Amino acid sequence: MRLTPSSRGLLSMVCLCALSVSTPAQAALRRGESPVPDFTAGGEKDDKHDWNLGPTGARGWMWGYKLQTSKARQILVTEVAAGSPADGKLQVGDVILGVSEESFAHDPRMELGTAIGEAEAGSGELSLIRWREGETSTVVLPIGKKGAYSENSPFDCGKSQQILAEGCAHIAKRLEADFAEFRSPLSKGPDRFRTYSSDDIMNAVDAMALLASGKPEYATLVTRYAHAFAPVNLEIALHSHSRMASWGWGYINLFLCEYFLATGDEAVLPAIELYTTNIAKGQSFIGSWGHAMAWPDKNAGKLHGVLSGYGALNSAGLICHLSLVLGKECGVKNDEVDDAIAKANKFIGFYANKGSIPYGDHLPNWDRHDDNGKNSMAAVLFDLQDQSERVRFFSKMTVASYGERERGHTGNYFSLLWGPLGARRAGSEATTAFMKPQRWFYDLNRSWDGSFPYQGGANSGKGEHSYAGWDSTGAFMLTYALSLKRLYITGRGTSPANQLAGSELDSVITDGADFTVWDEGLAPYRKKTAEVLLQDLQSWSPAVRFRAAQALAEKEGSEAHLPDLIAMLNAENLTARYGACQGLAAFEERAQSAVEPLQALLWSEDTWLRIQAVSALSNIGEASKSAIPALLRLAIVEDESDPLEITQRYLALGLFDSKKILGNVGLLANSVENVDRDLLFQAVQKILTNPDGRTRETVASVYRNLSYEELKPLLPAILKAIKEPSPSGVMFASGIRINGIELLAKYRIEEGMALCLDILEIDKWGKRKRLDQCLSVLATYGGAAKPLLPRLRQLENDLQVHPEATGLTPQREYLHQLIKDIETAEEEVELRSMKE
C-alpha cells in the first residue's frame, strides 16, 4: 500500500500506537520484564525513573519495558511542582487512570501526550481521571491554550513559535543564573583549560538555540558565552590526556563557529583556529576520534596515531568532524585540517548505503535506521560539503527512524538533539512527516515552565541514563527553530537537490512504521506474505532488508523461495543483490544451494557486495567450506579501493571467528584440517597486520588448531602482533596480544615472559583485565621467570602509587603473591627460544 500525503501522518501515528495488541494479563513476561503493578490494589513501582507529564507540572511513574510503555494502564504521581497547573489538583500518590473520561487503553504516555495537544488546541483544560485513596474522580488542569500544530509544523506554525519563545526564555534564565558560577575555560587563570564538563555540551547547545532563535534580546548573553568559551591556548589540554576532551572541544567549537558565521564577531576567531587545528591533530590515523584525542607523541610535540581509552567513539567524533568543516567555513586554512576532514569523510562515508553508523570503528548496524543520532549528524555533515549521495542516504535513514528516536546507548539526548536536524536535510516536507508521529512525545516532554527535562528511556536500566538531570531544552529548541534556518545545523545552506517528497517520502515513512525495540521491528514483517518480503529485500533501506530477511527465513515452507533469492543475486539493482545475500544469510545452512553463486560475487567490483557474500557464506556454515580457498585468496588481496581493509574484517570473521559476530562461527574456527597451508599462513599473516583489533583477534582460533611444529612459520608474525598493538578497534586490541603470550607460554618460549610485562600498559583502558591475564600467563613459567623479579617489584611499586590503586587491589595482591611464588620456586622449567 502506498500512502497519500494526507494519510501518511495518521497511519504513522496508528503504527506507533499499536505496539501491543495483547492485554497486560494476556502477554507473557519477556526476559527482564517486570509485572505491571495495579496501584489501586496496593501495587508498587520499581526504582526506575519516572516521567515528566507535559505542561501539567507533575511527574509520574508508569510501567515500561525497553523504552516502551504500551502495557501500562496507570500513572502513579511522584511529584507536583508548586504553582503549576497540577498544584492543588494532584498530589504524590495519586493514580491517573485515563484522560477525557476514557481509561487508558493502549499506552498512557502516548494517550496523555495526545490529550495535551488536543487540550492546547481547544479549551486549554486537560481532563484526567484521578484515583486517590479508593475514590475515583475527574480533575481538570488549566494547562493553557497554544493552538494546534500546523499541518506542516514546525514550519509556519504558531504553536511551534510559541514553544520556541517559552523555551528560549527558560534557557536565558538558566544561563544568566549559571553565568556567575560558569566554569569557563578561563575561570582558573589564562593558562588553564578545563577540557571537558557535561556543562560544556548543555551550555553550547543552549547557546546555539538562543542564536538559532534570532531574538535580539539574547544577543548579549550569547556573546558573553562565546567569549567565555574562547580559551587563550590549549597547551595544557594537549598534554593532559583528558578522558572526555573530544566532547567538550567538539561542541564548543561547533558553537563558536556557528556564532561567528551568524554574527561576524572576530573576537572568537583565534579560539576557532585553536580548536579546529588541535581537533585535527587529535584525530586517529584512520579518521576517527574517541572520548579524548589520540595519544600524544611527546617527542614530536603533537597528537597522532592510536586513540586512548577503548578507541573510536563516533558520537563525539562526528561533532569534532562537523566542527572542522565549519572551522574551514570560518576561514581556518590548514593542510592538517584539510587532511583530517578528508580522512574522516572516508571513515564515516564508508557507512553510506550500508547501515547505521555504529558506536566506534565497528561494522555497520543493519537492523536500525539510526543509532543515537549518528546518521542524523552525518546527514548534516555531508550536506555542508555538498556530498549529495551520502546526504540522501543518511537523511532518508533519519526520516525513517521516527519511531526509533527514544533509543540510544547511555541515553537518548543526542538522538533527540540531532534527529530533526538530520531530517531537515531532506527538506521541509520530509521534516514534517518525520515530526508528525512524534508530536505527542514532544508535548509530553515539555514542562509547564517551557523547559524540556531529560526523560531518558522507560525501564531501560541505570546505564541508559547518563544524562539524568540534564536540561534538554536547547536540544528541543533547535527543532522548533528549524523554520528560521539561521544556523548551518538548523538548515542554513541546505541543498534543495536532496529534498525528499511525494511518493518517495511516503515510501520512506512506510519503511519506518511499526517499530518496537521488543522485537527490533520484526512484528509487521512477520505478517507479510513471502512475495512482499521478497520485494522488501530490494529496498534501499538496510534495516528493511534485514527485517524482511529474518521474517522470510522464519516462514514455514520458505525454502521454496530459495531459487528466487539465488536469482536475485544477479539482479540489475545493486540493493536487490545486497538483499538476496541478507536473505540467504538468514536461511543459514538451509541455503547451501546458494554457495556456488555466492562465491561468484566474491570478486565483484562492489566492495559491499563482496562483504555481503562473505557474510552469507559464513552463515550458511559447513556447506560453504568449498569456498574456503577463494576466501583465503581474497583475504590476501591488496585493494586500493579499501584502504582500511574492511573486506578483510569480514573475511576474518567469516573464516576464523569463534564468537559468532556474523551470526555463526567462522568456517575454520574449529578446524583447519585439509586446508592449504600456504594459503592459510599467508592469510593469517596478512590478517595479523590488519589495522582493526577485533579482526586480528579472530585468528587466535588458528593458534588452537595447529601444532607447535605447524605454527613455527607463523611465530614471527605472532610475535609482531604482540609487540605492535592495532591502531584501530582499540577496544579489542588486547585480545590477540593476550592470545599470543598464552601461545608462547603454552610452548614455553622464553621471549614470552618479558612480553607479559611489556604489554601491561597500566595507564590505559582495560588495565585490570590485562593485569589479570598477563600475570596469570607469567605464573605458568614458574621459577624460569626469576630474571623478571626486578621488573615485577617495580610494577608492584607502580601499582601502589597508581591513581586507581584502590580499584586495583585484587591485582596488587595477586602480584605480591606471584613475586613470592617465583622467588621460592625450585622446579626447573625448560624453555625454548625464538632464536632457535
Residue-level pLDDT at 590: 97
pLDDT band at 662 (very low <50, low <70, confident <90, very high): confident
- 216-224, Cβ contacts within 8 angstroms, sequence gap of 24 or more: 217/172, 218/168, 218/172, 219/263, 221/172, 221/175, 221/176, 221/179, 222/259, 223/259, 223/263, 223/265, 224/179
Choose the weakest-confidence range: 67-71, 314-318, 799-803: 67-71
pLDDT band at 28 (very low <50, low <70, confident <90, very high): low
Residue-level pLDDT at 233: 60
| Beta carbons of 259 and 205 less than 8 angstroms apart | no
Residue-level pLDDT at 144: 97
Has residue 633 got a pLDDT over 50?
Answer: yes
Q: What are phi and psi of 90, to 5 degrees?
A: -125, 155
Residue-level pLDDT at 228: 84
DSSP state letters, 507-551: HHHHHTTT--TTTTT-HHHHTS-HHHHHHHTT-S-HHHHHHHHHH
CATH number for the domain formed by residue range(s) 158-492? 1.50.10.10
Rounded mean pLDDT, 375-391: 97
Choose the weakest-confidence range: 5-14, 110-119, 151-160, 659-668: 5-14
| Beta carbons of 687 and 696 less than 8 angstroms apart | yes
pTM: 0.90
| Beta carbons of 303 and 747 less than 8 angstroms apart | no
Has residue 297 got a pLDDT over 60?
Answer: no
Selection from 413, 311, 395, 403 nearest residue 358 by Cα: 311
Whole-angstrom distance, CA of residue 162 vs CA of residue 441: 17
Q: What is the DSSP letter of 832?
A: B
The model's pLDDT over 547-559, given as tens digits with 9 standing for 90+, comes to 999 999 999 999 9
Whole-angstrom distance, CA of residue 547 vs CA of residue 363: 17
Has residue 353 got a pLDDT over 90?
Answer: yes
Q: What are phi and psi of 804, to 5 degrees?
A: -110, 30
Half-sphere exposure of 586 (CA within 13 A, CB side): 26
pLDDT band at 20 (very low <50, low <70, confident <90, very high): very low
Q: Helix, strand or coil for residue 575? A: helix
Higher pLDDT, 281 or 790: 790
Q: How far is CA 361 from CA 311, 350, 401, 423, 729, in A?
A: 8, 11, 22, 24, 6
**Inter-axis angle of helices 245-263 and 269-281, nearest 10:** 140
| Beta carbons of 226 and 256 less than 8 angstroms apart | yes
The model's pLDDT over 301-310, given as tens digits with 9 standing for 90+, comes to 445 567 777 7
Percent residues over pLDDT 70 in the chain: 90
The model's pLDDT over 434-455, given as tens digits with 9 standing for 90+, comes to 999 999 999 999 999 999 999 8
Burial class, 509, CB count within 10 angstroms (exposed 0-12 / middle 13-18 / buried 19+):
buried
Selection from 411, 401, 630, 395 nearest residue 491 by Cα: 395
The model's pLDDT over 254-291, given as tens digits with 9 standing for 90+, comes to 999 999 999 999 999 999 998 999 899 889 888 999 88
Whole-angstrom distance, CA of residue 431 vs CA of residue 421: 9
pLDDT band at 237 (very low <50, low <70, confident <90, very high): very low
Whole-angstrom distance, CA of residue 584 vs CA of residue 620: 8
Q: How far is CA 126 from CA 113, 449, 703, in A?
A: 11, 17, 68
Residue-level pLDDT at 296: 58
Q: What is the DSSP letter of 788?
A: G
Residue with the three cell numbers 538531570: 469
The model's pLDDT over 197-210, given as tens digits with 9 standing for 90+, comes to 678 899 999 999 99
Nine-digit cell string for 595: 554457495
Radius of gyration of the chain (CA): 29
Higher pLDDT, 172 or 516: 172
| Beta carbons of 87 and 80 less than 8 angstroms apart | yes
pLDDT band at 18 (very low <50, low <70, confident <90, very high): very low
- When the pLDDT of each residue in the chain is averaged and rounded to a whole number, the result is 89
Strand-pair partners of 127:
140
Q: Do you know the residue count of the chain?
A: 836
Residue-level pLDDT at 814: 96
Selection from 471, 450, 470 nearest residue 170 by Cα: 450
pLDDT band at 299 (very low <50, low <70, confident <90, very high): very low
Residue-level pLDDT at 459: 40
Whole-angstrom distance, CA of residue 636 vs CA of residue 45: 58
Rounded mean pLDDT, 770-782: 96
Choose the weakest-confidence range: 11-25, 143-157, 261-275: 11-25
The model's pLDDT over 51-87, given as tens digits with 9 standing for 90+, comes to 999 999 999 999 988 778 889 999 999 999 999 999 9
Residue-level pLDDT at 304: 57
Residue-level pLDDT at 828: 81
Has residue 110 got a pLDDT over 70?
Answer: yes
Nine-digit cell string for 420: 530533526
Residue with the three cell numbers 528466487: 564
Q: How far is CA 758 from CA 572, 722, 725, 803, in A?
A: 53, 9, 11, 20
The model's pLDDT over 535-588, given as tens digits with 9 standing for 90+, comes to 999 999 999 999 999 999 999 999 999 999 999 999 999 999 999 999 999 999
**Can you point out the beta strands (E) in 274-352?**
294-297, 302-307
The model's pLDDT over 397-446, given as tens digits with 9 standing for 90+, comes to 999 999 999 888 888 999 999 999 999 999 999 999 999 999 999 999 99
Residue-level pLDDT at 234: 59
Residue-level pLDDT at 473: 97
Whole-angstrom distance, CA of residue 805 vs CA of residue 775: 17
Whole-angstrom distance, CA of residue 473 vs CA of residue 475: 5
Sequence-ordered list of residues with C-beta below 8 angstroms from that of 496, at least 6 positions apart, any chain: 427
Whole-angstrom distance, CA of residue 643 vs CA of residue 638: 9
Has residue 462 got a pLDDT over 80?
Answer: no
Whole-angstrom distance, CA of residue 596 vs CA of residue 579: 17
Instruction: Specify the CATH architecture of the domain 5-142.
Output: Roll (2.30)
